[in-house]
């Protein structure tokens, strides 16, 4: 667009007026990592690993003079993305980046990785390139040389792999929602909700599917997340359906063959496919109701008083203890109750308000924030506290420090 004013002409592009987005750099959340956007602007990642970018840009991460890698921008970037096309996290191009990032941490007692100003100033005199393809032992010598002897020790490859695997699982965890469809069919479509847990367990819920003789049922399928291939597969023995007529969740035992996969899992999107009898379809899901500043992320299940699972729950807690999330209710997928509440990180006490269609209910109890992988069991009651609806089972992970 050309604008003429005061005897001159100025050139403007759409890039000039695009909004800034917030992304995060994860290897645990990395604070203090330097970056440069393709327009030349520079910055340092903030608490939680946050950085700013505009759509369509290219970004380079570095510490001092040492470049760690470049790539096109996205909402989440990790050492895997900087390795440009390598997916196996054991690969030296990824693993050695993780080892170096851990060695740059100047506050190992705190959740996340912090690179302080002193470290960045020292790194100004480092070499600008490093060979991440070196073997485990040789990379120690490589780092020693590049950093002028400032870093002489690194975590082992096994330690780095365990650390990064946990960080990736946490980054992918949460809820996703969207729709499924069968090509060339105007009637075969429906809602899909998915939940990926930090332990790698996957649940996919498809509304509108017909399972065996069940004409009005919600399909409920279990799977396992493979972080190396960024995908998941349905389990052969993990098929259930919720029959609305009988209000029961039942294991599929009538020989119905259902197969499927999440062929591509990004940090905010899932693309998948499925086969159910003669139906061959696909689905696309987007991350659901997640906090951009989550310190903790929990996923789990809601059970009624008989112990029957009636929904999947996703819940984020920000550093101030504010809770947000939603419920995928298998009894009626058109209703997705929102969660709002607060958490006390010291006592572990949480109180969550559930906005149901006809009333408000309360989920309350205690969460072990010191070990989020330990399942927590919360009570689900009406607002007055005199009627119990069931319980909520949650576990999760910590994304960033709360101090």
Same domain, 191 and 142: no
280 within a domain of the structure (yes/no): yes
1 within a domain of the structure (yes/no): no
Q: Which of 272, 288, 304 is the last residue of a domain?
A: 288
1-5, 268-272, 290-294, 343-347: the lowest-pLDDT one: 1-5
Q: Which of 238, 273, 288 is the last residue of a domain?
A: 288
Same domain, 107 and 133: yes
Statement: the pTM of the whole predicted model exceeds 0.85: yes
390 within a domain of the structure (yes/no): yes
pLDDT over 70, % of the chain: 89
Per-residue model confidence as pLDDT tens digits over 144-188: 999 999 999 999 999 999 999 999 999 999 999 998 888 876 567
pLDDT over 90, % of the chain: 57
Same domain, 325 and 395: yes
Residue 9 is encoded by which pair of tokens? 């002409």
Domain that holds residue 336: 293-403
Per-residue model confidence as pLDDT tens digits over 35-68: 999 989 999 999 999 999 988 899 999 999 999 9
pLDDT at position 8 over 50: no
Same domain, 38 and 90: yes
Cα distances (Å, whole numbers) of residue 356 to 117, 171, 303, 382: 48, 29, 16, 10
Q: What is the mean pLDDT of the chain?
A: 86
7 within a domain of the structure (yes/no): no
pLDDT at position 326 over 80: yes
Same domain, 39 and 164: yes
Same domain, 239 and 321: no
Per-residue model confidence as pLDDT tens digits over 123-152: 999 999 999 999 999 999 999 999 999 999
- 172: number of Cβ within 10 Å: 25
336 within a domain of the structure (yes/no): yes
Same domain, 330 and 240: no
55 within a domain of the structure (yes/no): yes
Per-residue confidence band for 340, with pLDDT thresholds at 50, 70 and 90: very high
Specify the higher pLDDT residue, 236 or 35. 35
Q: Which of 107, 137, 171 is the last residue of a domain?
A: 171
Domain count, the chain: 3
Residue 272 is encoded by which pair of tokens? 């998948």
2 within a domain of the structure (yes/no): no
Q: How far apart are CA 395 and CA 374, in angstroms?
A: 6
Per-residue confidence band for 33, with pLDDT thresholds at 50, 70 and 90: very high
Same domain, 179 and 152: no
Same domain, 188 and 337: no
The answer to whether the Cα torsion of 233, 273, 203, 249 is positive or negative is negative
Residue 16 is encoded by which pair of tokens? 């000039």
pLDDT at position 291 over 90: no
Same domain, 161 and 188: no
State which H helix or E strand residue 138 sits in.
helix 136-146
Instruction: Sheet containing 66-72: give its strands across.
Output: 42-44, 34-37, 58-63, 66-72
Across the range 293-305, mean pLDDT stands at: 93
CATH of the domain at 216: 2.40.128.120
Same domain, 156 and 19: yes
CATH of the domain at 315: 2.40.160.90
pLDDT value of position 356 = 81
4 within a domain of the structure (yes/no): no
pLDDT at position 84 over 60: yes
pLDDT value of position 211 = 47
pLDDT at position 17 over 60: no
Parallel, antiparallel or unpaired: strands 21-25 and 76-77: parallel
Same domain, 17 and 127: yes
88-97, 157-166, 186-195: the lowest-pLDDT one: 186-195
Q: How far apart are CA 391 and CA 28, in angstroms?
A: 31
- 123: number of Cβ within 10 Å: 22
């Amino acid at each position: 667009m050309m604008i003429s004013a005061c005897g001159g002409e100025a050139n403007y592009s759409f890039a000039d007026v695009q909004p800034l987005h917030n992304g995060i750099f994860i290897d645990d959340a990395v604070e203090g990592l330097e970056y440069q956007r393709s327009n030349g602007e520079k910055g340092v990642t903030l608490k939680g690993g946050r950085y700013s970018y505009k759509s369509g840009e290219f970004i380079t991460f570095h510490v001092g003079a040492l470049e760690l890698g470049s790539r096109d921008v996205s909402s989440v970037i990790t050492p895997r993305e900087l390795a440009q096309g390598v997916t196996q996290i054991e690969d030296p191009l990824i693993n050695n980046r993780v080892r170096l990032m851990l060695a740059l941490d100047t506050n190992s007692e705190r959740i996340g990785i912090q690179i302080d100003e002193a470290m960045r100033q020292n790194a100004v005199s480092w070499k600008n390139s490093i060979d991440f393809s070196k073997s485990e032992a040789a990379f120690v010598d490589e780092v020693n040389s590049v950093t002028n002897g400032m870093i002489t020790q690194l975590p082992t490859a096994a330690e780095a792999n365990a650390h990064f695997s946990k960080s990736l699982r946490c980054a992918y965890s949460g809820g996703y929602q969207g729709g499924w469809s069968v090509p060339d069919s105007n009637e075969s479509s429906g809602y899909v909700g998915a939940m990926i847990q930090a332990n790698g367990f996957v649940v996919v819920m498809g509304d509108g599917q017909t399972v065996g003789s069940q004409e009005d049922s919600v399909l409920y399928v279990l799977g396992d997340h493979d972080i190396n291939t960024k995908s998941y597969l349905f389990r052969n023995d993990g098929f259930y359906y919720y029959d609305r007529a009988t209000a029961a969740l039942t294991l599929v035992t009538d020989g119905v063959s259902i197969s499927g996969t999440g062929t591509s899992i990004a940090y905010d999107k899932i693309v998948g496919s499925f086969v159910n009898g003669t139906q061959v379809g696909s689905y696309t899901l987007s991350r659901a109701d997640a906090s951009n500043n989550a310190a903790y992320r929990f996923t789990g299940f809601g059970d009624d008083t008989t112990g029957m699972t009636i929904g999947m729950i996703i819940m984020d807690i920000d550093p101030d203890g504010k809770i947000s999330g939603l419920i995928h209710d298998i009894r009626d997928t058109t209703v997705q109750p929102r969660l709002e509440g607060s958490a006390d990180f010291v006592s572990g006490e949480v109180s969550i308000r559930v906005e149901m269609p006809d009333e408000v209910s309360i989920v309350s109890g205690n969460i072990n924030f010191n070990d989020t992988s330990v399942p927590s069991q919360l009570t689900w009651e009406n607002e007055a506290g005199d009627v119990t609806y069931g319980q909520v089972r949650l576990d999760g992970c910590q994304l960033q420090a709360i101090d």
